[in-house]
Amino acid sequence: MVTAVLTTEQLAAVEQLIDRVSERQRQDFGHISSDLKADGTLITACDRWSDAAFVEGLAEIAPGEGVLSEEGSKHVPESRAYWVVDPLDGTTNFAAGIPYWAISVARFVDGRPSEVFLDVPALRQRIVALKGRGAFRNGEALTAETRLSANSACVSLCSRSIRVLQRKPDQPFPGKIRLLGVASLNLVSVAMGQTVGALEATPRIWDLAAAWLVLEELDCPIRWLGADPSRLRPGEDLSQAPFPMLAAASVPQLNRLLPWGEALSEG
């Protein structure tokens, strides 16, 4: 029987599983080669091992709950509760020797994230968000007040969203641009107060799943610029389904950046 929320024991077991995968990734970093997938993106043996570890481990922690992952099944599971996993978000950074990548694990219940985990192995940082119960970094509570006091002027773009700059050549972009190369961390940078906005042109569900709840728990407004991921259908194939989105630190910041988000769909 599916429970609406994970037990304390299950939450601890997920963290232990992430610990194991995170340690393996740190060991492999700088000592592994990559291959090209059919879509032209990179994959490493560490991606494959990490994905298998999560599929096996989550089946033990939460029996009967399906897993949708970047390197495994990309169909929305039939179960009421299921997991959305990106075992190594930022493979290009990882393979190039850039020490900035993430592990993204999100549990969905009734189509929305309920418990999520974002781990940054190289920094030994972990962000956990529990629906209605807040967000935490390495066990310390994060708050909207702390985020808003950061006074950042940066806006995170993905490599595919920089085309909006060409579509508005006569208008200065409203922020200092940063490209981190990790979709989940681009988005969660808003919730952390590192940026005031993030624009992602083609994120897949596994890129945004964990960051989505972190943003919501810290009152960061989100605008879906295409399909709404809260309307997923059981069995739906998400392998080629992007969910372009804009996240911001506040409603005024969202409105300020919205013309640039809308420019993504032009032409």
Looking at residue 43, its pLDDT comes to 67
Burial class (CB in 10 A: 0-12, 13-18, 19+), 34: middle
CA distance 75 to 16: 26
Give the mean pLDDT of 256-265: 90
Residue corresponding to tokens 């694990």: 105
Instruction: Give residue 114's pLDDT band: very low, low, confident or very high (50, 70, 90).
Output: very high
Beta strands in the chain (DSSP E): 34-36, 42-44, 66-69, 81-89, 102-109, 112-120, 125-130, 134-137, 140-142, 154-157, 176-178, 197-200, 222-224, 245-248
Mean pLDDT of the chain: 92
Cα separation, 16 vs 11, in Å, equals 9
Average pLDDT over every residue of 196-221: 97
Which distant-in-sequence residues (6+ apart) come within 8 Å of 136 by Cβ? 127, 128, 129, 142
What stretches of 80-191 show up as alpha helix (H) in DSSP? 91-96, 144-148, 163-167, 183-191
What are the two backbone dihedrals, phi and then psi, of residue 144, each rounded to the nearest 5 degrees? -65, -35
Residue 40, pLDDT score: 53
pLDDT given at position 44: 77
Q: Is residue 249 over pLDDT 60?
A: yes
End-to-end CA distance of the chain: 48
| pLDDT recorded at residue 90 | 93
Percent of the chain predicted with pLDDT > 90: 76
3 state SS of 228: coil
CA distances from 232 to 66, 111, 130 (A): 14, 7, 21
The predicted-structure confidence for 31-64, as pLDDT tens digits, reads as follows 766 665 556 565 678 889 999 999 999 999 999 9
**82: three-class secondary structure by DSSP:** strand
Which phi and psi angles does 112 have, rounded to 5°?
Answer: -135, 150
The model's pLDDT over 73-94, given as tens digits with 9 standing for 90+, comes to 999 999 999 999 999 999 889 9
Helix (H, G, I), strand (E, B) or coil at 36: strand
Q: What is the pLDDT of residue 205?
A: 97
At residue 12, the 3 state secondary structure works out as helix
Residue 267: per-residue pLDDT: 53
Give me the phi and psi of 12, to 5 degrees please. -65, -40
Residue with tokens 């032009």: 266
Sorted by sequence, the CB contacts under 8 Å of residue 52 that are 6+ apart come out as none
DSSP for residue 125: E
> Looking at residues 91-105, what average pLDDT do you find?
93
**H helices, E strands: number in the chain:** 8, 14
Tell me the per-residue pLDDT of 156-171, one tens digit each, with 9 for 90 and over.
999 999 888 888 878 8
Taking residues 228-247, report their average pLDDT: 96
